A = this chain, B = another copy of it.
Amino acid sequence: MTDKCVCLLSGGMDSATVATLASKEGYECYALSFDYGQRHKKELKSASEIAQRLNIQHKIVMINLEDIAYSALTGHGEVDKRNIDSIRSEIPNTYVPSRNIMFLSIAASYAESIGAREIFIGANAIDYSGYPDCRPEFYNKFEIALNTGTKAGNFRIRVPLQYLSKRDIVKLATKIGAPLELTTSCYEGSDLACGHCDSCQLRLRGFMEAGIKDPIRYNSYPDFYKKWLENI
């Protein structure tokens, strides 16, 4: 019998890579996305398309966090657009309080229900843009809590991109054939990616450093990427 796993699938590049990885590892994948009032709801469409392409199960959990979790991503203020070099210096206003904690908890409930023991999440600690729930030590501690507080116990939180830079993620994704062209990273949620929010800039720098052109469409490129494009 194939082992089951639950994959958190936001619709972004990292989670698409992780879902592809889990599939390639031979798991029967159950992808989970969240409609939580995020301004970039477009990522849910991407998530569905990615799941379809990978031929894996997919569910979207609705949870009205707008009133609960204050963040620029849930409509509280404008999304930060910082200089690429200052992005890692402090926690941005797109931080959704304990978002990964909530999502992992719900994923654990789903995993326990379907008899899966592995939960995959696309967090990474290098270009993590300052989110505390992307810290490696958090995952270890959460896993311990989870295994104490559930009937099944014995869960493993798998964070395969934990120590990879965006550049390495682009390379890995390309190598394993993750459908990067279907992914959405922009926080603004317009039809075309804005190219200037933290998320767009980190993504584009990753592609640039990997020497690979980003296949998705942007409204406009940041200067560093424009310059690079002109020189290749």
Number of copies: 2
* Stretch in A94-102, A158-166, A180-188, A204-212 with 4+ CB within 8 Å of B: A94-102
CB <8 Å contact, A98 and B150: yes
Q: Given that A149-B138, A149-B142 are contacting pairs, would A65 and B132 also be in contact in the complex, using a CB cutoff of 8 Å?
A: no
CB distance from A14 to the nearest CB of B (A): 17
Question: Which residues of B are found within 8 Å of A67, using beta-carbon distances?
Answer: 59
Q: Given that A63-B62, A144-B141, A150-B133 are contacting pairs, would A102 and B102 also be in contact in the complex, using a CB cutoff of 8 Å?
A: yes
Contact among B65, B95, B100, B109 with A97 in the assembled complex (CB-CB below 8 Å): B109
Q: Given that A105-B101, A106-B102, A148-B135 are contacting pairs, would A61 and B63 also be in contact in the complex, using a CB cutoff of 8 Å?
A: yes
CB distance from A4 to the nearest CB of B (A): 14
Contact among B65, B106, B110, B142 with A109 in the assembled complex (CB-CB below 8 Å): B65
Question: Which residues of B are found within 8 Å of A149, using beta-carbon distances?
Answer: 98, 100-101, 132-133, 135, 138, 141-142
Bound form: Cα–Cα A135–B148 in Å: 8
Further contacts, 19 of them, CB under 8 A, given A62-B62, A95-B151, A98-B150: A32-B68, A61-B68, A62-B63, A65-B106, A68-B109, A68-B113, A69-B112, A91-B151, A97-B113, A97-B152, A98-B105, A99-B109, A101-B108, A102-B109, A132-B148, A132-B149, A138-B145, A141-B141, A145-B145
**Chain A interface residues toward B at CB < 8 A:** 32, 59, 61-65, 67-70, 91, 95-102, 104-106, 108-114, 132-133, 135, 137-138, 141-142, 144-146, 148-153
